[in-house]
Amino acid sequence: MRQVLTESLLLAAIGGAAGILLAYWGVSALRASLAALLPRGDEIAIDPFVLGFSLVVSIATGALFGSLPALFGSRANVGASLKDGLRSTSGGTERLRGALVAGEVALAAVLLIGAALLVQSFQRLQRVELGFQPDRLLTAMIGLPQSRFKNVSEAIAFCDRFVAALEGVPGIRSAGLSSGAPFVGGNTGMPIKAVGASALGNESLQADWRKVSPHYFSTMGIPILTGRAFDDRDRRGGPMVMIISNGMARRIWPSQDPVGRQIQVGADPFTVVGVVADVRNTRLNADPAPTMYISTTQSIWPQMTVVVRTEADAASTTPAIRRVLQELDPTIALYNARPMDALLDTQVAQPRLTASLVGMFALVALLLATVGLYGVLAFVVAQRTREIGVRMALGARPRDVLTLVIGRGARLAAIGLAFGAAGAAALGRFMSSQLYGIDARDPLTYAAAAAMLMAVALLASYIPAVRATRVDPVIALRVE
């Protein structure tokens, strides 16, 4: 037992050291790839406690899985072993070895199915319909303190001058203002009621709201489905108007044209003058909320988001926007200037990280299962060399031996796959919260993962099987 444990612990120590070295390299690569995508991504490092835990687990694994074969070996019948030429193993050992390999395959199946689901979810998240055009779009924020303006009309006039000045800057195609642009913040909501007959009846509807400038929709690339955008007709003191999202229109008037109808917001009735496409404002994986838009020519908000559509790189226009603002009013600062592409990258950073990490773990588990299956079958072939020689001497063809060895590998893989699929299905409720646009028990994903695992298992079985077909019956049956 001492000899076997010494060998096992030595192997575990070497493997643990190699694993820690790979972890340092992997963390360095992870830090380099995620520094620009995750907040504080450049601070990712090996934790000393995790490092110590990994060392302890490596040593404990070596001790545990070294003591089991040592224990079996110490209880072996020496006479029977010598009689059999040291070429046989007990049925309990065979079953334990097969169970360990099947367990490896099961864990690989769970991780592979999870990784496949997360990758598909991430891909669908990237292709989700935003409701606007994010390319060459810059967002920034300004504050409009009440102490700076005498009244609301003065603040509205300043915003009109600011937007007009921005649209005159070379390289800027159009500009607009909003009390909250997508993925920037400022998401607010309130209950509203429809005036007159509607699908709501006497019930209220919780709707998000934005205060936007007349050119906001064209700048963002939000299509107007019916009606019109805000224009010079919508001024402070005149009839209050709003534009609503398509989802909100369907909720209130599912089979009628909403243009010209009225919505009660607090004590004020607003007339609907247009309907625009639904926009995802807060999260990519959340359905667009019912949204109403009010013109900044009638009402303003103390903190506004500037949106600018540029001819070329969006970030390069920030200095020009800041200069325009300083010329109009040096007391108002521009801050949080960010391209929309960067905001969207932040939205998908966590799903990308999760999919990448689980994918790497799945590949490692697949490699371990492959090595384990290959090792077991290679050992079985070595142990059964005499039996294979007898079979071939009695007329067995190489194809029969090949089928025998590969069949054993396929059975172990199939058992592992069955348990792995069951484990992945049991984790479906947890996985559902991490997925978008795909069912956690998608049968095609399960089938693809199973096919990949079985193909790898058959490949791992093929090499020992070919080696078995090359056994020379004369040498195998030679008395030692």
What digits encode the pLDDT tens for the residues 99-120? 888 888 898 899 899 889 988 9
Residue type, 238: G
CB 157 within 8 A of CB 320: no
CB 317 within 8 A of CB 81: no
Average pLDDT over residues 76-82: 57
- pLDDT, averaged across the chain: 86
3-state secondary structure of 184: coil
Separation between Cα atoms, residue 445 and residue 453, nearest integer Å: 12
**β-bridge pairing 172-178 and 303-310:** antiparallel
Q: Point out the least confidently predicted range of 131-135, 251-255, 387-391.
A: 387-391
- For residue 361, the model assigns a pLDDT of 84
Helix or strand (DSSP H, E) at 23: helix 2-34
What digits encode the pLDDT tens for the residues 308-334? 999 888 888 999 999 999 999 999 999
Domain ranges of the chain: 1-75, 91-129+347-480, 137-311
What digits encode the pLDDT tens for the residues 175-232? 999 998 998 876 788 999 999 888 988 899 999 999 999 999 999 999 999 999 999 8
- For residue 34, the model assigns a pLDDT of 67
- For residue 480, the model assigns a pLDDT of 45
Helix or strand (DSSP H, E) at 265: strand 262-265
3-state secondary structure of 285: coil
What digits encode the pLDDT tens for the residues 123-162? 888 888 999 999 999 999 999 988 888 889 999 999 999 9
The structure's pTM equals 0.76
Q: What are phi and psi of 153, to 5 degrees?
A: -60, -35
Q: What are phi and psi of 15, to 5 degrees?
A: -65, -40
Which has the closest alpha carbon to 457: 422, 403, 416? 416
b (16+ CB within 10 A) / e for 343-375: bbeebbbebbbbbbebbebbeebbeebbebbbe
Separation between Cα atoms, residue 33 and residue 27, nearest integer Å: 10
Separation between Cα atoms, residue 248 and residue 313, nearest integer Å: 34
Query: Model confidence at 77, in pLDDT bands (50, 70, 90)?
Result: low
> Would you report the helix, strand and coil content of the chain in percent, each value rounded to 5?
55, 15, 30
Query: Model confidence at 372, in pLDDT bands (50, 70, 90)?
Result: confident
